Amino acid sequence: MSSWGREVFLKIDNFYESLNFSAHLNRSESIARILKSVPIITEVYGIGFPYYGQVDPRHRICLSLEDYKPAPEREKEFLMHLMPDFDFLLVFTFAERGPWVIHAENDYLDPRMMESFIHRISLYHRQWKESLIKLDQEGIADRDADLLEEFSKHDKLHIDFVPVPDHIWKIMPCFVEIMDFKIFRFIRDLMLTGEPLADSSSRIPVAFRKNFILNLLARWGPKTQKELLDIIFKIQPHAFIFEVYPQARDVVGKRWLAALNMTIREKKIIEANDVYQLTESGEKSLDEILAVRRKIFDKGFEEVATTPQIF
């Protein structure tokens, strides 16, 4: 690694060594409120670190360093991978609903959602510019700037965000098959985190977890609580997080257990001797959810815009 690269690396290491976790959470909330002040952004969710627990990111950095093979052309890419940032899922209003027909393991909608967001945000240039000024005051770098330079010289972090149109967000709890994260990559984030910020609603993330649990029990049969959580942790696209940070299981597990308890109260799942299984009501609910999912595959999102609320 070059002398400049070592300098940046040590600064990244020092940032995490001196990180005040509570202050970092508060800063994330403040940034979320700035983002939500933009008219088209209706919901903001925190994803990734710090929302899977109070862990030490330097442990993961150490593992990355062990695998790093020095090469001048890869140095910036490697440092960008390590650099601290804030990750958000942004739900935004979108006029053009579809049809946007999708296919299994087809993730072409991700770049299209980003293109749509950029187009929509351009229509609110003044408000977006005002939010950028406020973000700069929060120590957030301009996305078009040299982010490593901004961090190393001005202590500025950057934001990564995943934009999701609201008409897709509203029906995403029906995408509960195990490999559906290949259709929408943001499902990977919701399986791990998805913390509501800036007074955003928890309804959709919770509905997704509830429906995912229903589908797991339908596919895998009755399970104990431990068996159910073990499956959820194992099939996570971010399962490595639990290997690096075992304490993350408690934080992430609480979200899933809260969803499990809600399905029990709704009489969709019954528990006996610590074994959980679907009730007739749960089976019916899952059938309705998967029917909406099939309809989207057949006809696109526009066709389900008026589908009765089932979540």
Is it the case that residue 111 has pLDDT exceeding 90?
no
pLDDT at residue 307, rounded to an integer:
53
Is it the case that residue 275 has pLDDT exceeding 70?
yes
pLDDT at residue 107, rounded to an integer:
59
CA dist., res. 218 & res. 227, Å (int): 14
What is the DSSP track for 189-232?
A: HHHH--EEETT---HHHHHHHHHHHHHHHHHH--EEHHHHHHHH
pLDDT above 90 coverage of the chain, percent: 75
**pTM of this prediction?**
0.93
The alpha carbon of residue 299 and the mean position of all alpha carbons in its chain are separated, in whole angstroms, by: 26
Mind listing the pLDDT tens digit for each residue in 168-197? 899 999 999 998 998 888 999 999 999 999
Is it the case that residue 206 has pLDDT exceeding 60?
yes
pLDDT at residue 182, rounded to an integer:
86
Q: What values do phi and psi take at 237, rounded to 5?
A: -60, -25
The amino acid sitting at 56 is: D
Is it the case that residue 249 has pLDDT exceeding 80?
yes
State the pLDDT confidence band at 69, using cuts at 50, 70 and 90: confident
Give the pairing type, strands 85-92 and 158-165. Answer: parallel
Domain ranges of the chain: 3-304
Average pLDDT, the chain: 91
Return the closest-CA partner of residue 278 out of 206, 231, 207, 219: 219
Residue of higher predicted confidence among 98 and 125: 125
Q: Cα angle at 236 between 297 and 310, to 5 degrees?
A: 45
CA dist., res. 162 & res. 186, Å (int): 7
pLDDT at residue 311, rounded to an integer:
65
Is 240 in contact with 188 (CB distance < 8 Å)? no
Is it the case that residue 105 has pLDDT exceeding 80?
no
167 to 92, 186, 304: CA distances (angstroms): 9, 15, 9
pLDDT at residue 183, rounded to an integer:
86
Is it the case that residue 227 has pLDDT exceeding 70?
yes
Is 151 in contact with 83 (CB distance < 8 Å)? yes
State the pLDDT confidence band at 74, using cuts at 50, 70 and 90: confident
Q: What values do phi and psi take at 276, rounded to 5?
A: -110, 135
pLDDT at residue 286, rounded to an integer:
97
CA dist., res. 269 & res. 281, Å (int): 8
State the pLDDT confidence band at 128, using cuts at 50, 70 and 90: very high
The alpha carbon of residue 311 and the mean position of all alpha carbons in its chain are separated, in whole angstroms, by: 19
Q: Cα angle at 279 between 273 and 281, to 5 degrees?
A: 150
Mean pLDDT value of segment 238-263: 95
Specify the DSSP class assigned to residue 140. Answer: B
State the pLDDT confidence band at 106, using cuts at 50, 70 and 90: low
DSSP-based three-state secondary structure for 92: strand
Number of Cβ within a 10 Å radius of residue 182: 15
pLDDT at residue 66, rounded to an integer:
81
pLDDT above 70 coverage of the chain, percent: 93
Phi-psi region of 199 (alpha: psi -120 to 50; beta: other; left: phi over 0): left
